[in-house]
């Protein structure tokens, strides 16, 4: 095979053994890599019903046929496992040198099974593996951990690690790299912590074996030049995703006060222009010529790398109107190693719950207040350490906490994962995208909202359901499996036509757009099959957006009064299922599974559902 090594490294963490395995070439062709390969491995090798924080869960790192090569924003790695937060398929996409070094080590995937009884660093050189003690690192934050490991293994080593949040099995702990990169919102860092893996280090020295090296480089160079010449490039380099704050305010989708509202009176204090006035550095993922990690000093004078999502959820959504304060919470998230988006949705839920009197046994009678940065920062640390009853409760995320104390009507999650930073009172298509995302309410799979606000915004139409699927195919199916950053296409408009060519020169396989769309649909149906197997069945209730968007209309801004409509949403969901070839409960039909080459999942699925 060209473009793929065809090899995966299997690590038995309990026995401290490793072996290199050739996986079937068909998997590469049908699932590409990254998310697709991870899902295929999970279906094949994970024991059904595995306890997410037990040794039977598999932690999977996977790259794709474009990752780690020169070219448009290719330094990305997929980290996947059964999620302790949702109980279903979970993954994340992280920009890291690990991707480049994994490519040089000649590995398409690394699978971690079992669990260590003591903290370990797994040190991989090529395919040689050492399990080293991490006793001296356990308990340290991610920045200190990585700094120490870089001194030991070198500036260019691929390193990913967890912080105290992962060690303490916080349900939304992530995998961290290079200070500001975080991946695996549905608790993939907690899975790493449950295996007592503090860090994984990788270095390789092989040259990538491509089908046509020369043409690959020509095409990659063309794409990189096109990115720099796009009209939006200069502004992107100034603000990155932070431009979205002003846009979200204008379109009434900026989450405020636990998604009660879609506008925020203090938005100017946290927007992209404020960020520009505070900017001290710019950084990002490897192999990227449109680096979007904008760095400011937080309220303690420490560097913090910002994106729209974390600023909205740790700013307007918790009533904070000073960027340095939102940046402070964001930096805590990076250092302790958990997802800043879930921190935002969990803190905002906690404030609402506290004010409703649901946290009396936890808040010591001192109600949490919107915008109270000092208390919120204290709570953020308590969550990472599970050091107080409140911190321990909130370490389960709002979805877990509300099951203990009530308040699930205002937990802003789908399938357990907190929603990303787009209010959907007046955006049914985006609500559908959150509700049908294969990992819970992440915007990564279908950021339909920018299209939706310009195209019959209040419609619950078939066209909208089709648009969600189109985006899910490209974003959630293809980019997650290439595995590269999607932002060159989304944000500066790089032509998608580069990608089949890059794939061809990398692998020698000519994929048409029809092939690629079918590939995206296959990965989606497979992820759904994993969910059905792990949940022991399925119901369309799992594909519903948060109740608040239906029941509590907006009270502020030009769209005051707007809310979602149950009957119309159900109609939209029916359109979605029909277009996907799934039945009215959201289960892929036998015919659909057959068409996508997924006959092998049918016997297992028949144990849990009646296939149409």
Residues at the interface with ligand PTT (CB under 6 A): 76, 92-95, 174, 180-185, 241, 285, 305, 307-310, 330, 333-334, 339-341, 444, 479-480, 485-487
Q: How many CA atoms lie within 13 A of 208 on its CB side?
A: 26
* Cβ 583 vs Cβ 609: under 8 Å: no
340 touches, from ligand SF4, ligand PTT, none (C-beta below 5 to 8 Å by class): ligand PTT
Contact map string, positions 450 to 489, toward ligand SF4, x by CB under 6 A: -----------------------------------x-x--
Shortest Å, Cβ 234 to ligand SF4: 15
290 touches, from ligand PTT, ligand SF4, none (C-beta below 5 to 8 Å by class): ligand SF4
Q: Name the residue nearer to ligand SF4 (CB basis): 288 or 383.
A: 288
Which tokens sit at 179?
A: 């200070």
Shortest Å, Cβ 364 to ligand PTT: 28
428 touches, from ligand SF4, ligand PTT, none (C-beta below 5 to 8 Å by class): none
Looking up tokens 């060159």 gives 488
Q: What whole-number distance in Å separates Cα of residue 21 and Cα of residue 580?
A: 34
Please tell me whether residue 342 binds ligand SF4 under the rule CB under 6 A: no
Residue nearest to ligand SF4 (CB): 284
Pairing of strands 120-125, 197-203: parallel
Question: Residue 114's closest CA among 197, 187, 185, 173?
Answer: 197
Please tell me whether residue 95 binds ligand SF4 under the rule CB under 6 A: yes
Q: Percentage helix, strand, coil, to 5, in the chain?
A: 45, 15, 40
Shortest Å, Cβ 130 to ligand SF4: 30
* Cβ 505 vs Cβ 210: under 8 Å: yes
Q: What whole-number distance in Å separates Cα of residue 88 and Cα of residue 435?
A: 14
In 501-572, which ranges are E strands? Answer: none
Q: Rounded to the nearest 5°, which phi and psi values hold at 124?
A: -110, 125
Shortest Å, Cβ 327 to ligand PTT: 10
Segment interacting with ligand SF4 (CB under 6 A) among 139-147, 286-294, 383-391, 435-443: 286-294
Please tell me whether residue 292 binds ligand SF4 under the rule CB under 6 A: yes
SS3 6: coil
Helix then strand count (H, E) for the chain reads 27, 17
What are the CA-CA distances from residue 2 to residues 169, 214, 523 (Å)? Answer: 39, 14, 22
CB burial of 422-439 (b: ≥16 within 10 Å; e: otherwise) equals bbbbbbbbbbbbbbbbbb
* Cβ 62 vs Cβ 33: under 8 Å: yes
Shortest Å, Cβ 106 to ligand PTT: 22
Segment interacting with ligand SF4 (CB under 6 A) among 102-110, 288-296, 427-435, 565-573: 288-296
Q: What whole-number distance in Å separates Cα of residue 351 and Cα of residue 367?
A: 8
* Cβ 188 vs Cβ 161: under 8 Å: no
Q: Name the residue nearer to ligand PTT (CB basis): 92 or 545.
A: 92
Q: Rounded to the nearest 5°, which phi and psi values hold at 142?
A: -70, -35
End-to-end CA distance of the chain: 37
Q: Which stretches within 46-76 are classed as H helix? A: none
Shortest Å, Cβ 184 to ligand PTT: 5
Segment interacting with ligand SF4 (CB under 6 A) among 290-298, 377-385, 392-400, 454-462: 290-298
Among 134, 157, 288, 494, binds ligand SF4 (CB under 6 A): 288
Among 290, 351, 359, 474, binds ligand SF4 (CB under 6 A): 290
Please tell me whether residue 176 binds ligand SF4 under the rule CB under 6 A: no
309 touches, from ligand SF4, ligand PTT, none (C-beta below 5 to 8 Å by class): ligand PTT
Segment interacting with ligand SF4 (CB under 6 A) among 201-209, 216-224, 281-289, 573-581: 281-289
* Cβ 77 vs Cβ 98: under 8 Å: yes
Please tell me whether residue 291 binds ligand SF4 under the rule CB under 6 A: yes
Among 73, 123, 340, 342, binds ligand SF4 (CB under 6 A): 73
Segment interacting with ligand SF4 (CB under 6 A) among 134-142, 284-292, 427-435, 552-560: 284-292
348 touches, from ligand PTT, ligand SF4, none (C-beta below 5 to 8 Å by class): none
Q: Name the residue nearer to ligand SF4 (CB basis): 292 or 402.
A: 292
Q: What whole-number distance in Å separates Cα of residue 5 and Cα of residue 210?
A: 10
* Residues engaged in binding ligand SF4 (CB under 6 A): 73, 95, 284-285, 288, 290-293, 485, 487
């Amino acid at each position: 095979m060209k473009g793929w090594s065809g090899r995966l490294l299997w690590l038995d963490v309990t026995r401290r053994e490793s072996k290199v395995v050739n996986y079937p070439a068909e998997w590469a062709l049908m699932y590409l890599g990254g998310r697709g390969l991870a899902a295929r491995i999970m279906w094949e090798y994970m024991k059904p019903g595995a306890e997410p924080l037990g040794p039977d869960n598999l932690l999977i790192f996977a790259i794709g046929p474009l990752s780690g090569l020169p070219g448009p924003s290719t330094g990305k790695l997929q980290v996947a496992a059964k999620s302790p937060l949702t109980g279903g398929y979970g993954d994340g996409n992280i920009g890291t040198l690990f991707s480049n070094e994994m490519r040089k080590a000649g590995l398409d995937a690394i699978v971690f099974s079992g669990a260590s009884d003591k903290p370990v660093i797994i040190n991989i050189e090529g395919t040689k593996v050492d399990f080293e003690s991490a006793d001296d690192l356990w308990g340290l934050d991610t920045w200190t951990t990585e700094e120490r490991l870089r001194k030991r293994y070198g500036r260019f080593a691929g390193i990913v690690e967890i912080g105290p949040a992962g060690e303490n099995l916080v349900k939304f702990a992530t995998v961290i790299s290079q200070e500001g990169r975080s991946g695996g919102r549905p608790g993939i860092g907690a899975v790493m912590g449950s295996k007592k893996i503090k860090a994984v280090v990788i270095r390789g020295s092989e040259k990538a074996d491509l089908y046509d090296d020369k043409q690959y480089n020509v095409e990659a160079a063309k794409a990189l030049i096109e990115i720099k010449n796009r009209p939006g490039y200069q502004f992107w380099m100034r603000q990155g995703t932070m431009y979205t704050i002003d846009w979200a305010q204008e379109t009434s989708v900026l989450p405020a006060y636990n998604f009660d509202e879609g506008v925020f009176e203090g938005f100017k204090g946290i927007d992209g222009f404020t960020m520009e006035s505070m900017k001290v550095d710019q950084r990002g993922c490897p192999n990227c010529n449109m680096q979007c990690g904008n760095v400011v000093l937080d309220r303690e004078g420490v560097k913090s790398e910002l994106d729209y999502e974390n600023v909205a959820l740790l700013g307007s959504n918790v009533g904070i109107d000073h960027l340095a304060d939102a940046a402070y919470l964001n930096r805590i998230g990076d250092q302790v190693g958990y997802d800043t988006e879930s921190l935002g949705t969990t803190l905002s839920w906690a404030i609402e719950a506290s004010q409703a009197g649901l946290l009396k046994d936890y808040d010591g009678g001192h109600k949490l207040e919107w915008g109270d940065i000092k208390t919120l920062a204290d709570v953020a640390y308590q969550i990472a350490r599970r050091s107080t009853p409140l911190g321990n409760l909130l370490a389960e995320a709002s979805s877990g906490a509300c099951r203990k104390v009530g308040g699930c009507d205002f937990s802003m999650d789908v399938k357990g994962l907190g929603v990303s930073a787009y209010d959907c009172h007046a955006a049914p298509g985006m609500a559908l995208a959150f509700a049908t995302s294969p990992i819970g309410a992440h915007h990564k799979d279908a950021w339909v909202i920018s299209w939706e606000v310009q195209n019959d915004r209040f419609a619950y139409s078939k066209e909208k359901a089709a648009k969600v699927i189109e985006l899910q195919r490209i974003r959630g199916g293809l980019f997650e499996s290439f595995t590269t950053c999607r932002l060159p296409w989304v944000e500066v408009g790089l032509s998608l036509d580069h990608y089949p060519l890059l794939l061809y020169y990398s692998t020698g396989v000519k994929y048409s757009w029809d092939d690629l769309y079918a590939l995206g649909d296959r990965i989606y149906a497979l992820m759904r099959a994993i969910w059905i197997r792990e949940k022991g069945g399925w119901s369309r209730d799992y594909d519903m957006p948060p109740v608040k968007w239906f029941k509590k209309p907006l009270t502020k801004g030009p769209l005051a009064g707007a809310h979602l409509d149950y009957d119309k949403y159900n109609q939209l969901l029916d359109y979605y299922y029909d277009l996907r070839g799934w039945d009215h409960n959201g289960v892929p039909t036998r015919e659909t599974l057959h068409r996508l080459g997924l006959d092998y999942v049918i016997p297992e699925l028949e144990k849990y559902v009646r296939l149409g």
